[in-house]
Amino acid sequence: MSRLQLVVILFLGSLLASCVVAAEHDMEVRSFKDKIIALTDEMVDAFAKHDYDAVMGMWHPDGYVSVEGIPLAHGTDAIRENLKKTSSSVDHLVKTYVEVGPNEEGADYVYVLYNEKLYDQADKLFDDRKCLLVWRKTDAGYKASFLMINSNE
């Protein structure tokens, strides 16, 4: 190997190494809280799109939903019917996160407290509510276990 080839290889190697370091530096490191919020976003966004199969895929089979003014729903079939009733007029929603806890990777249960504003197709606010969602750790990852929804009024 000539000196010129060696110099070119070393030069290209140094360029590649700096790119790898830069790529690792720019990688997004998500906290446990961010992961739980992303999971909640996924479920709530599927709810707003009326994608009940996606929503139900995120529920534990033994889950509960308690919505003010509607009987308690237990199990995925009852939860699906409950969510259909509460989302029939939803065109889009806005959520605001209040609290997530505990912020411990691997916690058996994690709760998310958030507010939702539901809007119809005319962009009219028709429901302003507070939500408490409890995620349960399973072998398949976190699954929704309990959701309680009350009016913010």
Write the CB contacts of 82 (distance below 8 Å, at least 6 apart in sequence): 65, 67, 70, 73
Locate the domains of the chain by residue range: 1-30, 32-151
CATH number at 32-151: 3.10.450.50
Q: Above pLDDT 70, what percent of the chain?
A: 82
Q: Can you tell me the distance from the alpha carbon of 63 to that of 56, in angstroms, rounded to the nearest whole number?
A: 10
Q: Is residue 145 a contact partner of residue 136, using CB atoms and an 8 Å limit?
A: yes
Residue 153: the pLDDT is 74
Longest dimension (CA), the chain: 82
Q: Is the pLDDT of residue 1 over 70?
A: no
Write the CB contacts of 56 (distance below 8 Å, at least 6 apart in sequence): 76, 79, 80
Q: Above pLDDT 90, what percent of the chain?
A: 70
- Is residue 14 very low, low, confident or very high in pLDDT (cuts 50, 70, 90)? low
pTM of the full structure = 0.79
- Is residue 114 very low, low, confident or very high in pLDDT (cuts 50, 70, 90)? very high
CA-derived radius of gyration, the chain: 23
Q: Can you tell me the distance from the alpha carbon of 22 to that of 20, in angstroms, rounded to the nearest whole number?
A: 5
SS3 105: coil
Phi, psi of 106 (to 5 degrees): 90, 5
Span 18-74, pLDDT tens digits: 444 444 455 567 899 999 999 999 999 999 999 999 999 999 999 999 998 889 999
Residue 142: its H or E element: strand 141-151
Residue 22: the pLDDT is 42
Of 87-91, 96-100, 135-139, the poorest mean pLDDT is in 87-91
Nearest to 144 by CA among 46, 70, 62, 49: 62
Residue 19: the pLDDT is 44
Residue 20: the pLDDT is 44
